[in-house]
Amino acid sequence: MLPTPPAMLDKSDRKLYTLLALRELGSCSHMQLLYFMVENDIMTYFDLSLALHELVNEGHAAKIAHPADSLYQITDAGREALSFFVNRLAHSKTTLICEKAPAWRERFDAEKQYAAKVIQNPGGEYVAQLRLVDGTTSILSLDIPAPERRLADQFVNAWPAHAGEIYHYLMNTLGEEGKPS
């Protein structure tokens, strides 16, 4: 039997939980925020999608460009609204968000720094798109073709552990060409 999804939240609750999560997690993508909300039984995909759209339209959240993905972040107006109404939320969910957020934030920060995904080009070939990001600047970007999805996934999974050494190798190797003999 499938688990019962959480009931739809009312408009103000879904927006307040989303603001609280954004405050605690920092800037994050729609998918990152979705994983956090669903895995912690805070809200559904539909609640989150509605809340993000409404919050951006009202100026309580902003959607910003980032080399890894578009990110959402809480604005000053959102912080102010949250400070006025956070006490109307269920204490158990508020506590859950605040307690779980630090570990998720660490994970999300790493995902933003070592952005990686697999795409399939029109010819059917898989490509591992790998990015090393410093703040909001992409400092290394590699697209590596792979004949099968499994190999492209392997590249993506290995990227965070090896991105730094690959970057340093390239800098050292390419930088030595310009050195006088």
Q: Give the residue extent of every domain in the chain.
A: 11-111, 116-177
3-class DSSP assignment, residue 144: strand
Between 58-62, 108-112, 121-125, the lowest mean confidence (pLDDT) is in 108-112
Q: Look at 3 and 99; give whichever has higher pLDDT.
A: 99
Mean pLDDT of 159-176: 89
Quote the pLDDT of residue 178: 55
- What is the share, in percent, of the chain residues with pLDDT greater than 70? 92
Of the candidate CATH numbers 3.40.50.2000, 1.10.10.10, 3.40.630.10, 1.20.1050.10, the domain formed by 11-111 belongs to 1.10.10.10
60-80: burial string, b at 16+ Cβ within 10 Å, e else: bbbbeebbbbebbbbbeebee
What pLDDT digit, counting tens, does each position of 49-71 carry?
999 999 999 999 999 987 767 89
Per the DSSP assignment, residues forming a β-bridge with 144 are: 128
pTM value? Answer: 0.74
Q: Which of 31, 29, 13, 10 is nearest to 94 (CA)?
A: 13
CA angle, corner 89, sides to 83 and 93, nearest 5? 115
